[in-house]
């Protein structure tokens, strides 16, 4: 299978010439690394590092939520992390960052490929019920300026025998002809920059962000079963999300950290 490399010159040129992408201060592409999130978390120790993007053609130790492994063959996926300094953002609103990132991934996929991407709360990206992308958000420890790293793993050209789990999919398996990974990276970064800038300019008011998220979240309105640490179970209708981005199952609010699995009931 032909898996061309990312066009780093095209990416860097876009960051200097496209108004929306001037939000970012730089982008690097590496052939291989353990984890793009871990690399940017290490760079966060320098308080001047802000709004940077790292993409790996292969990621050897990628992680999802609850440290679940996330791997793929070289150039078959987009493994991308971005770091932002959250100056002025109330720490109680940090839970909205993964939801914002998920919304950006959905919109980038829809606009670039036309696939019917949707969100499974909180931020798994699905196509017709199968997972095509996962997002891991991590806060950097300490420092005078808080930093958060958002990592995205997006399946592009994986074949059925290369999928990490049976319920996953890829753009190739969704009949997207010759998906352009460089265009996908640029679309994802553009959507993230626009969403983040609009949120900041609204003085971090979540009303518009929450409305956009609700429109894209396939979980809402469906019966679900939340498996809790320690063997507990919560079932009911996924009714809404609250002001902190938590899922309301009936009248009970749960955060992503409260549950081990969320499944259809």
The per-residue pLDDT string of the chain (265 residues; one tens digit each, 9 = 90 and over) reads 689 999 999 999 999 999 999 999 999 999 999 999 999 999 999 999 999 999 999 988 655 544 556 566 899 999 999 999 999 999 899 999 999 999 999 999 999 999 999 999 999 999 999 999 999 999 997 777 899 999 999 999 999 999 988 899 999 999 999 999 999 999 999 999 999 999 999 999 999 999 999 999 999 999 999 998 888 899 999 999 999 999 999 999 999 888 888 988 8
pLDDT computed for residue 253 by the predictor: 93
What are the C-alpha distances in Å from 87 to residues 37, 54, 168? Answer: 20, 21, 36
pLDDT computed for residue 143 by the predictor: 73
- DSSP codes of every residue in 156-182: SS--GGG-SSTTB--TTTTT-SS--HH
Residue 6's CB is within 10 A of a number of other CB atoms, namely 20
pLDDT computed for residue 68 by the predictor: 59
pLDDT computed for residue 229 by the predictor: 82
> If you search the block for the tokens 């998920």, which residue do you land on?
102
**CA atoms of 232 and 230, how far apart (whole Å):** 6
Residue 201 contacts by C-beta under 8 Å, 6 or more apart in sequence? none
Q: Which residues on adjacent β-strands are paired with residue 137?
A: 150
pTM (two decimals): 0.94
């Amino acid at each position: 299978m032909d898996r061309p490399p990312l066009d780093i010159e095209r990416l860097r040129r876009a960051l200097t010439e496209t108004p929306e992408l001037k939000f970012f201060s730089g982008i690097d592409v590496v052939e291989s690394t353990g984890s793009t999130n871990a690399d940017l978390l290490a760079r966060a120790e320098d308080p001047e590092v802000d709004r940077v993007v790292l993409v790996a053609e292969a990621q050897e130790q990628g992680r999802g939520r609850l440290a679940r492994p996330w791997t793929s063959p070289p150039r078959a996926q987009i493994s991308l992390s971005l770091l932002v300094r959250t100056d002025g953002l109330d720490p109680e609103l940090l839970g909205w960052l993964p939801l914002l990132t998920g919304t950006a991934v959905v919109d980038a996929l829809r606009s670039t490929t036309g696939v019917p991407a949707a969100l499974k709360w909180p931020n798994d990206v699905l196509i017709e019920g199968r997972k095509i992308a996962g997002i891991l958000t991590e806060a950097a420890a300490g420092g005078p300026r808080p930093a958060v790293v958002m990592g995205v793993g997006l399946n592009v050209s994986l074949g059925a025998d290369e999928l990490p789990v049976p319920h996953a999919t890829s753009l190739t398996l969704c009949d997207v002809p010759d998906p352009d990974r460089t265009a996908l990276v640029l679309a994802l970064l553009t959507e993230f920059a626009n969403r983040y800038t609009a949120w900041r300019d609204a003085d971090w008011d979540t009303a518009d962000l929450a409305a956009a998220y609700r429109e894209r979240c396939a979980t809402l309105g469906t019966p679900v079963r939340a498996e809790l640490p320690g063997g507990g179970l919560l079932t009911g209708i996924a009714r809404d999300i609250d002001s902190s981005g938590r899922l309301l199952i009936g009248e009970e609010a749960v955060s992503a950290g409260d549950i081990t699995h969320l499944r259809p009931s």
